[in-house]
Amino acid sequence: MYVEKDEKTISVTTTPRVPAWLTGLIPVLAIGLMLLLFTLVNPLAMFNNNLPPIENLAIDRIRVVENGFEVSVMNSGPQPVRIAQVIVDDAYWQFNVEPSGELPRFGRAVVTIPYQWIYAEPHRILLVTNTGLTFEGKVTIATLTPRPGLREFANYGLLGIYVGVIPVSLGLLWYPAMKRMRRKWLGFILALTVGLLVFLLVDTFLEVLETGAKLPGVFQGVPLALFAALLTWLAIMAVSAMQNRRNAAAGNVRAKGAFLATLIALSIGLHNFGEGLAVGAAFALGEAALGSFLVIGFILHNITEGIGIAAPLVSNRRSDEEPARAAPSLLTFSGLALLAGFPAVLGTWIGGFAFSPLLGTIFLGIGLGAIWQVIVEVTALLRRYAERENMHWVSWLNLAGFMLGLAIMYFTAFLVKF
């Protein structure tokens, strides 16, 4: 079609419009065609000649029972695996696999080995596949693995209460004394809280690296934990922004402090879950001395964490002359103590009866993201606190509080690091 305009001829070409659904379907069809062609031609066939099979057998847990061992395994490799032989303490031994036959990718089985183990002695177990590859598991100290039961659940739950709930509650008892402090000393307590949380952040990150490395490579343990941390951080940011808007609209100062205290308790609770896992696993493996030291160390840790939870509850006074606001209810303190401490109970149960490196890695990642966001929140509160006094938030007193928080956590960690 031609159009005359200003003595110039302009050519206008019209093309039919392609439906929107078809423009999205064409790339999908192209990808499917490429995959079909790749499957039919199989360009990788020339690289697979005379190569040994790729096998990877992950030993999740070894349970010590009265008549031997029960080894839980998973095929984390790309090809099926068949367990052909078992070696215990350098001797070939009889065994039974349930389910029998080949293990498909991600398949799980339990290898039962009748064996007269020796109490408190180490034992070495080798699983040999039909291709001759070996995968090793160790029993560090042979002692009966606890079985779930009412008495066992009660004992491990009591351990968790001693590790988590009671110490946090003792730390919250500092609240009345903190209400009487002058504002500059409340800033000191907030800075101390930041120091505690920074130590927990670093400690949790190192635990993520250690626990994530124990996972089979197919699970990508460390990236999985970091993704969990990122999602947790973003989720808490969204919740915090929504809650701050509500509090600002209502002018509720106390609610701001209570919300921040809840965030601190939540992040500490997620960290205490990892501590409970460590305690439960130590006692389940028969390492009573290690478990006892862990309990003592975590108790000292969590007492100071209780102080950090209480700090935002008393940080809403605008001046030293302003009378202290009414204390939160006993129900509020009980809820904070349970939120921060009860995850240790859950951790001891899981660590004692069904420890899972995958579950531990995910929860540590969640704790990592939560602790980071709480550090941001408490630091912002500390800065607002200093601005009311026309002071810089990094004062010598606040720096001393931050260093004291780090020092307390560092030196109490001597009892839990081996």
List pLDDT tens digits, range 317-365.
555 455 555 667 888 889 999 998 898 888 888 877 776 777 778 888 8
The tally of domains found in the chain comes to 2
Give me the domain span that covers residue 131: 57-139
313 and 226 assigned to the same domain = yes
Res 260: pLDDT = 81
Res 2: pLDDT = 47
Establish if 357 belongs to a structural domain: yes
118 and 233 assigned to the same domain = no
195 and 281 assigned to the same domain = yes
Gap between the Cα atoms of 352 and 374, Å rounded: 30
Q: Where among 139, 168, 194 does a domain terminate?
A: 139
369 and 306 assigned to the same domain = yes
Buried-state track 148-170, b at ≥16 Cβ within 10 A, e below 16: eeeeebeebbebbbbbbbbbbbb
DSSP string, 168-211: HHHHHTTHHHHHTS-HHHHHHHHHHHHHHHHHHHHHHHHHHHHH
229 and 115 assigned to the same domain = no
- What does the pLDDT look like over 194-223, one tens digit per residue? 888 888 888 888 888 888 887 877 788 889
Establish if 372 belongs to a structural domain: yes
Question: What ranges in 18-84 are assigned the alpha helix state H?
Answer: 20-41
Res 87: pLDDT = 95
277 and 404 assigned to the same domain = yes
Q: Using omega within 30 degrees of 0 as the cis cutoff, is the peptide bond preceding 99 cis?
A: yes
114 and 168 assigned to the same domain = no
pLDDT tens track, the chain, 418 positions:
445 555 555 555 555 677 777 777 888 888 888 888 877 877 766 665 565 667 888 888 888 888 999 998 989 888 899 999 999 998 999 999 998 888 998 899 999 999 999 888 889 999 999 888 899 988 887 888 777 778 878 888 888 888 888 888 888 888 888 787 777 777 788 888 888 888 888 888 888 888 888 787 778 888 998 998 899 888 888 877 776 666 665 555 556 778 888 888 888 888 788 778 777 776 666 555 455 556 666 676 677 777 778 878 875 555 545 555 566 788 888 999 999 889 888 888 887 777 677 777 888 888 888 888 878 878 887 887 777 767 777 888 888 989 998 888 888 777 655 5
204 and 100 assigned to the same domain = no
Whether the pTM exceeds 0.85: the reply is no
Establish if 10 belongs to a structural domain: no
163 and 116 assigned to the same domain = no
3-state secondary structure of 117: coil
Res 280: pLDDT = 77
Gap between the Cα atoms of 62 and 69, Å rounded: 7
Establish if 157 belongs to a structural domain: yes
Res 297: pLDDT = 65
Handedness of CA 110, 111, 117, 120 (dihedral sign): negative
Res 88: pLDDT = 94
CATH of the domain at 119: 2.60.40
Res 285: pLDDT = 60
Q: Which residues contact 405 (CB under 8 A, 6 or more apart)?
A: 191, 192, 193, 194, 195, 196, 197, 198, 199, 304, 308
Establish if 108 belongs to a structural domain: yes
284 and 361 assigned to the same domain = yes
Distances in Å between the Cα of 184 and the Cα atoms of 85, 323, 385, 397, 398 are 69, 15, 9, 8, 8
Gap between the Cα atoms of 208 and 367, Å rounded: 10
Contact 271, 409 (CB under 8 A): no
Establish if 334 belongs to a structural domain: yes
Establish if 278 belongs to a structural domain: yes
Q: Where among 98, 120, 139 does a domain terminate?
A: 139
158 and 103 assigned to the same domain = no
- Helices 288-310 and 253-284: angle between axes, nearest 10 degrees: 180
Gap between the Cα atoms of 152 and 180, Å rounded: 44
Q: Where among 113, 139, 165 does a domain terminate?
A: 139
Establish if 368 belongs to a structural domain: yes
Q: Which residues contact 3 (CB under 8 A, 6 or more apart)?
A: 9, 10, 12
Gap between the Cα atoms of 345 and 283, Å rounded: 14
135 and 183 assigned to the same domain = no
3-state secondary structure of 316: coil
